[in-house]
Amino acid sequence: MSTESRILCPQLQQKVMSADEAAAMIPAGATVGMSGFTGAGYPKAVPGALAERIKAHNATGAAPFRINVLTGASTAPELDGKLAEVDGIELRLPFQSDPICRDRINTGSMNYTDLHLSEVSQYAWSGFFGKMDIAVIEVIGIREDGSLIPSSSVGNNKTWIEQADKVILEVNSKQPLRMEGMHDVYYGTALPPHRKPIMLTEAGQRIGEHYLRCPIEKVVAVVETDSPDRNSPFKKPDDASRKIAEHILEFFDREIKLGRLPKELLPLQSGVGNIPNAVLEALDSGPYKNLTAYTEVIQDGMLKMLKSGTLSVASATSFSLSPDGIAEFEENIELYREKIILRQQDISNHPEVARRLGVIATNGMIEADIYGNVNSTHVMGTRMMNGIGGSGDFARNGYLSIFMSPSTAKDGKISAIVPMVSHVDHTEHDVKIIVTEQGLADLRGLSPRQRALEVINKCAHPDFKAQLLDYYERACASGRGMHTPHLLSEALSWHERFEQTGTMKPE
């Protein structure tokens, strides 16, 4: 299929130009809404062209040229990496995972606001981010009437197009055109007091349209591209990941036997990464059939489950596939297009739907404390890793929230179970299950002291168990409140010790 045939709207054919010409339309100080979610469907050419322009501008010694960059979630080196490299980002939200961005955030030269992903569009509509000047959106085709065929992620694209004064489209001919029809863009959202129920009662249901509406007159540029999404090869699950997956499957089995979960489980939400992928792989080799997924991201593991029939349908807002996964997807796209629905992220992550469907939320974490508080974002309390992403949308409102991590990091020098987490993203009220390769702690209905023993005994690495019990027992004996016993002077000392000595273990 030739590139040309992807731009069927005559007026928009007139707007085709180079990425440099398009990037020239983005002024300094602009607030720019870009497509992109977990490295899929982000613009491939304009951000780099803009970065070149910024670099040239800044070399003149003029006042720095910076923009605010709002996306769906993470993008790729072509977007976050290039713009961060030239120090072109003033404010970044709602999620990122780029190493150069991360460095700028943690050295204080970039403002970053990590937000619940379901809330971003509501914030934008409410005007809290100010005016959106321009949207830069990757699509896979433009139809005759100017409506847009979304790409490998939907993210916030609907909102950005609606909110921006001007729209730049990138038409990426590398994306398979047979994705047309997989998307479900819902135009029934509103700000309160005008909201109506979201009438989704099953993960696989469609409530919207296949295409993004876009007023032709808003489009100021159309740029043709032909580049693949960022795609990192998946590592085979390591031993810890496999053990974590085993614990979770045992737990599911038990809950099914106790009549607390149906044998098709409940719709799965699965965070991105190797541990969630190991869980998916384990589910696929188990006895499960006709599971469903109501999640943010389709990873390789879900493709396999869809193919084998373990999973009957998967709803998400984006793909995040390895090169092998992309090849598999493209080869069997006729199968997958019937079983995958891509929605905007305010629907894929909607609290109303997550609660109604009773999502089982499985997400990674950096650390948990003995009372069940989880840190998903901050290394040693101060350094941003990536962001909370959608984990809060699903963990708070889902039926079960499972947080997973190997029990140690950095060659055993860091314990993922600590007396007190150095940052809280998920409170004791929201964390139902904690799993490490050591075991699974079921915290439902337990008081804080009951939780402490459950977490220490089931999840802590043997190297840190005695040290944790010692902390807990001395906290209980300290004469302070016995509801959540702590020694405030020591609560964060494990993190301090790591900073000072390179290990959380006492000397």
398-427 residues in contact with a copy of itself (CB under 8 A) are 399, 422-427
Q: Answer yes or no whether residue 258 interacts with a copy of itself by CB under 8 A.
A: yes
- The annotation places the binding site at 366, 386, 390, 410
Rounded CA Rg of the chain:
23
User: Using CB under 8 A, which of the segments 8-16, 22-30, 276-284, 484-492 binds a copy of itself?
Assistant: 484-492
Which residue of the set 90, 162, 296, 328 is catalytic? 296
- The CB-of-407 to a copy of itself minimum distance in angstroms stands at 22
Q: Which of 378, 334, 387, 444 is nearest to 93 (CA)?
A: 387
Question: For residues 40 and 421, which CB has a smaller minimum distance to a copy of itself in the complex?
Answer: 421
Three-state SS at 379? strand
| Residues present in the chain in total | 507
Site string for a copy of itself, 345-364 (x = CB under 8 A): -----xxx--xxxx------
Residue nearer to a copy of itself on the CB measure, 38 or 422: 422
- 80: which DSSP letter? I
Nearer to a copy of itself, 70 or 222 (CB): 70
Q: Is 296 a known active-site residue?
A: yes
> H/E/C letters for each residue in 313-344?
EEEECEECCCHHHHHHHHHCHHHHHHHEEEEE
**3-state SS, residue 258:** coil
Residue 397 makes contact with a copy of itself by CB under 8 A: yes
Which CB, 24 or 424, lies closer to a copy of itself? 424
Residue 259 touches a copy of itself, criterion: CB under 8 A = yes
Angle at 75 between CA 207 and CA 82, to 5 degrees: 150
Closest separation in Å from C-beta 290 to a copy of itself: 11
Interface with a copy of itself, residue 251, by CB under 8 A: no
Handedness of CA 421, 451, 459, 401 (dihedral sign): negative
- Both tokens of residue 63? 């006042």
Residue 388: partners with Cβ closer than 8 Å, 6 or more residues away: 95, 114, 115, 116, 376, 377, 425
Span near a copy of itself by CB under 8 A; candidates 124-132, 166-174, 237-245, 320-328: 124-132
In the complex, least distance from residue 459 CB atom to a copy of itself, rounded to whole angstroms? 19
Is 507 one of the binding residues for a copy of itself (CB under 8 A)? no
Q: Angle at CA 97, nearest 5°, toward 93 and 339?
A: 90
Residues β-bridged to residue 32: 69, 134
x-marked contacts with a copy of itself along 133-172 as a string, rule CB under 8 A: ----------------------------------------
User: CB–CB of 345/390 below 8 Å?
Assistant: yes
> From the list 61, 108, 233, 462, which residue makes contact with a copy of itself (rule: CB under 8 A)?
108
Neighbour-count burial of 358, counting CB atoms closer than 10 A to its CB (0-12 exposed, 13-18 middle, 19+ buried):
middle
Tell me the β-bridge partners of 403: 363, 434
Question: According to CB under 8 A, which residues from 186 to 225 bind a copy of itself?
Answer: 191-193, 195-199, 201-202
The stretch among 9-17, 59-67, 410-418, 482-490 that binds a copy of itself (CB under 8 A) is: 482-490
Build a one-symbol-per-residue string for 80-99: x at contacts with a copy of itself by CB under 8 A, - elsewhere. Answer: -----------x-x------
Burial state string for 76-92 with b = 16 or more CB within 10 A and e = fewer than 16 = bbbbbbbbbbbbbbbbb
Binding residues for CoA: 366, 386, 390, 410
428-457 positions binding a copy of itself, by CB under 8 A: 429-430, 444-447, 449-450
| Residue 123 in the binding site for a copy of itself (CB under 8 A) | yes
With binding defined as CB under 8 A, does residue 379 bind a copy of itself?
Answer: yes
Start-to-end C-alpha separation, the chain: 65
Distance (Å, whole) CA 210 – CA 297? 18
Q: Of 260-279, which residues contact a copy of itself (CB under 8 A)? A: 260, 262, 264, 266-267
Q: Which of 47, 392, 419, 439 binds a copy of itself (CB under 8 A)?
A: 392
Centre a 10 Å sphere on the Cβ of residue 127 and count the other Cβ atoms it contains.
11
The residue with tokens 């619940």 is: 116
d(CA 505, CA 507): 6
Among 232, 382, 501, 502, binds a copy of itself (CB under 8 A): 382
Q: Does 474 bind a copy of itself (CB under 8 A)?
A: no
**Choice from 3, 18, 58, 122 touching a copy of itself (CB under 8 A):** 122
Closest CA to 329 of 120, 264, 320, 217: 320
236 is a contact residue toward a copy of itself (CB under 8 A): no
Least distance to a copy of itself, CB of residue 72, Å = 17
Q: Which of 114, 162, 300, 437 binds a copy of itself (CB under 8 A)?
A: 114
CB atoms within 10 A of CB 36: 35
Q: By CB under 8 A, is residue 69 in contact with a copy of itself?
A: no
Of the candidates 68, 65, 46, the one whose C-alpha atom is nearest the C-alpha of residue 55 is 65
User: What is the phi/psi pair of residue 209, to 5°?
Assistant: -120, 160
Q: Are 268 and 294 contacting, i.e. CB atoms less than 8 angstroms apart?
A: yes
The pair of three-digit structure tokens given for residue 456, joined into one six-digit string:
């220490």
- Least distance (Å) between residue 467 CB and a copy of itself: 17
Give min distance, CB of 441 to a copy of itself, in A.
14
Contact predicate 321/162, CB 8 Å: no
Interface stretch with a copy of itself, choices 10-18, 19-27, 395-403, 458-466 (CB under 8 A)? 395-403
Residues with a catalytic annotation lie at: 296
